[in-house]
Amino acid sequence: AHFTSPIRRYPDVLVHRAIKHALAGGHANDYRYGPHDMAQLCLQCSERGRRAEEAEREVDERYRAAWMEQHVGSQFDGIVSSVTSFGLFVEMNESKITGLVHVTQLPKDWYQFDPVRRVLAGERSGAAWRQGDAVRVLVLRASVEDKRIDLRLVSNETTGKARATRTRWA
């Protein structure tokens, strides 16, 4: 069972109890929880469910970073999963773990980010990266404490020219 199962299932329990009450011939006015109580319980369940999901995400991120700590210095093939003004997020094919290639880890150039086309391009070189590009990365650092995985671009199979807005010198 999933460790957050009780948190996720309690809203179902509340609904099932209300349905069971109605099927047994009960009326809303004699149900154990009034409309205000049900609304409060629903809000509480939603808030606790969100907290449980956040805790689960944090644990997953720490496990991913711990696994990648063993692979610092290793190279992996991956796919650019997201492009931002500060770098590329790359999902490594083998592990499905995502790390960041910060613009400072790209070849020296002025990098421009086009937020509409979601492209990061070098002004002088014309090298460009977009979501879905195949790349090879080197694991520079992995930190369980920071829940971060830092990568450096080793090679990319798809580069091209792209118009973008200036971001920073790397």
Average pLDDT rounded to a whole number, residues 6-28? 84
For 93-105, the DSSP string reads TTT--EEEEEGGG
- pLDDT grade for 161, boundaries at 50, 70 and 90: very low
Average pLDDT, integer, range 81-102: 94
Domain boundaries, the chain: 5-69, 75-169
How does 113-150 read in b/e, with b if 16+ C-beta sit within 10 Å? bbeeeebbbbeeeebbbbeebebbbbbbebeeeebebb
> Average pLDDT in the 55-75 region?
92
Q: Is the pLDDT of residue 7 over 50?
A: yes
User: Confidence band (pLDDT; 50, 70, 90) for 134?
Assistant: very high
For the segment 44-63, the average pLDDT, to the nearest whole number, is 90
Average pLDDT of span 10-35: 88
Question: Sorting pLDDT into bands at 50, 70 and 90, what band is 155?
Answer: confident
**Which one has a higher pLDDT value, 49 or 4?**
49
In a 10 Å sphere around its CB, with 0-12 CB exposed, 13-18 middle and 19+ buried, how is residue 39 labelled? exposed
Distance CA 138, CA 129 (A): 17
CATH number assigned to the domain covering 75-169: 2.40.50.140
Distances (CA, A) of 68 to 43, 51, 80, 170: 38, 26, 18, 25
pLDDT given for residue 9 in this prediction: 78
For 67-86, what is each residue's pLDDT tens digit?
999 999 999 999 999 999 99
In the block, which residue shows the tokens 């650092």?
Answer: 141
* Closest by CA position to 102, among listed 118, 93, 90: 90
| Mean local confidence (pLDDT), 129-146 | 94
What is the structure's pLDDT at 52? Answer: 87
Question: Which of 1-22 are b and which e, b meaning 16 or more Cβ less than 10 Å from the residue's Cβ?
Answer: eeeeeebeeebeebeeebeebe
The pair of structure tokens assigned to 41 is 């319980």
Average pLDDT of the chain, as a whole number? 85
Is it the case that residue 167 has pLDDT exceeding 50?
no
